[in-house]
């Protein structure tokens, strides 16, 4: 496993040498590992010349290659274009995030339509809950619309503000910090001989959030995947954003329970 810190003077080659096992991530006819390591080598040279590189290039130095289908600037496929189709299919395989039922979406629409009518008691609205997730969303909806609950935020949330930089060489943004801390979690799990290590992360920048999942797909290839983006609710008028956030948090709960 590689160190979290950026290496400028020492290059570690896990994939060659007499008698060593050669691990490769090969999807279809594409040797993804080879392309990733070539990209990393280019970035080592760029750091030596300029002393400063962007977030994606910084992460490659720690063998981290993010996938984000909603933001090209935060996706490795913008730099290693040959891997786009196969990586998207690989990243999404086996990931299921149950949706809020259609009946519950109609319930939220009904609640939203009453926002201008203080004399309407939304607790009297009923519907048949299709799942535990529906029940949880309804409870959150009722709580958030209780008297004195609509207190405006004084500032935007930032869940990454407590994380320190892990690089000695340049300032890191929140995305880089989160990915490196997820890698640190994966390495700790591997040290404890936990099979199929997984790290989950929540990046919250202002009111826009991203739920991420990282796995070690091959030796020296850490793959953090942005599963979904959602917005935090700022006011009653954004009640419709609640289901998407609850779906993401429910996914995290299911993943945690799977390891208990």
Position 6 in a domain: no
Position 243 in a domain: yes
Are 162 and 89 within one domain?
yes
Instruction: Examine the pLDDT at 56 and tell me if it is beyond 80.
Output: yes
pTM (2 d.p.): 0.72
**Amino acid 123: pLDDT:** 64
**Amino acid 41: pLDDT:** 92
β-strand partners of 148? none
Are 33 and 146 within one domain?
no
Position 21 in a domain: no
Q: Express each pLDDT in 59-70 by its tens digit.
A: 999 999 999 988
- Note whether 232 and 75 are within 8 A (CB): no
Structural domains of the chain, count:
2
Q: Express each pLDDT in 134-187 by its tens digit.
A: 777 677 666 666 554 444 444 444 444 344 455 555 678 899 999 999 999 999
Are 147 and 34 within one domain?
no
As a whole number of angstroms, the longest Cα–Cα distance in the chain is 78
Instruction: Please count the CA atoms within 13 angstroms of the CA of 66 that sit on its side-chain side.
Output: 28
Instruction: Examine the pLDDT at 233 and tell me if it is beyond 60.
Output: yes
**Amino acid 142: pLDDT:** 67
Instruction: Examine the pLDDT at 207 and tell me if it is beyond 90.
Output: no
Exposure string over 32-71, b if 16+ CB within 10 A, otherwise e: bbebbbebbeebbeebeeeeebebbbbbbbbbbbbbbbee
Are 138 and 34 within one domain?
no
What is the pairing mode between strands 198-205 and 30-31?
Answer: unpaired
DSSP-assigned states of every residue in 108-152: HHHHHTTTT-TT--GGG------SHHHHHHHHHHHHHTSTT--PP
**Amino acid 116: pLDDT:** 62
Are 70 and 114 within one domain?
no
**Amino acid 16: pLDDT:** 45
Are 161 and 215 within one domain?
yes
Are 48 and 145 within one domain?
no
β-strand partners of 204? 209
Are 242 and 134 within one domain?
yes
Q: Which domain holds residue 136?
A: 102-152+235-258
For the ranges 162-166, 200-204, 217-221, 229-233, the maximum mean pLDDT occurs at 200-204
Position 1 in a domain: no
Q: Categorize the per-residue pLDDT at 248 as very low, low, confident or very high, splitting at 50, 70 and 90.
A: confident
Instruction: Examine the pLDDT at 228 and tell me if it is beyond 70.
Output: yes
Position 16 in a domain: no
Are 74 and 122 within one domain?
no
**Amino acid 120: pLDDT:** 63
Are 88 and 163 within one domain?
yes
- Note whether 57 and 73 are within 8 A (CB): no
**Amino acid 188: pLDDT:** 92
Instruction: Examine the pLDDT at 209 and tell me if it is beyond 80.
Output: yes
Per-residue pLDDT, averaged over 100-109, amounts to 74
- Note whether 184 and 197 are within 8 A (CB): no
Mean pLDDT of the chain: 76
Are 31 and 68 within one domain?
yes
Are 119 and 163 within one domain?
no
């Amino acid at each position: 496993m590689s160190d979290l810190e950026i290496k400028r003077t020492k290059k570690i080659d896990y994939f060659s040498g007499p008698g060593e096992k050669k691990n490769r991530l090969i999807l279809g006819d594409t040797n993804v590992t080879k392309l990733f390591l070539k990209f990393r080598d280019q970035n080592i040279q760029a750091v030596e010349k300029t002393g400063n590189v962007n977030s994606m290039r910084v992460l490659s130095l720690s063998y981290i290659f993010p996938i984000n289908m909603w933001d090209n600037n935060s996706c490795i496929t913008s730099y290693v274009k040959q891997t786009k189709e196969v990586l998207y299919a690989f990243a999404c395989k086996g990931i299921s995030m149950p949706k809020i039922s259609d009946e519950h979406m109609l319930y939220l629409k009904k609640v939203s339509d009453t926002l201008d009518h203080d004399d309407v008691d939304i607790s009297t609205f009923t519907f048949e809950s299709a799942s535990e997730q529906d029940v949880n969303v309804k409870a959150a909806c009722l709580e958030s619309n209780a008297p004195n609950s609509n207190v405006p935020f004084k500032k935007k949330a930032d869940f990454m503000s407590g994380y320190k930089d892990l690089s000695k060489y340049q300032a890191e943004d929140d995305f880089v910090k989160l990915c490196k801390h997820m890698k640190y979690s994966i390495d700790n799990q591997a040290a404890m001989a936990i099979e199929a290590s997984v790290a989950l992360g929540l990046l919250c920048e202002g009111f826009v959030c991203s739920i991420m999942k990282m796995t070690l797909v091959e030796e020296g290839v850490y793959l953090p995947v942005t599963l979904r983006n959602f917005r935090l609710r700022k006011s009653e008028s954004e009640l419709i954003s609640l289901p998407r956030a609850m779906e993401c948090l429910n996914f995290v709960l299911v993943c945690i329970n799977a390891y208990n």
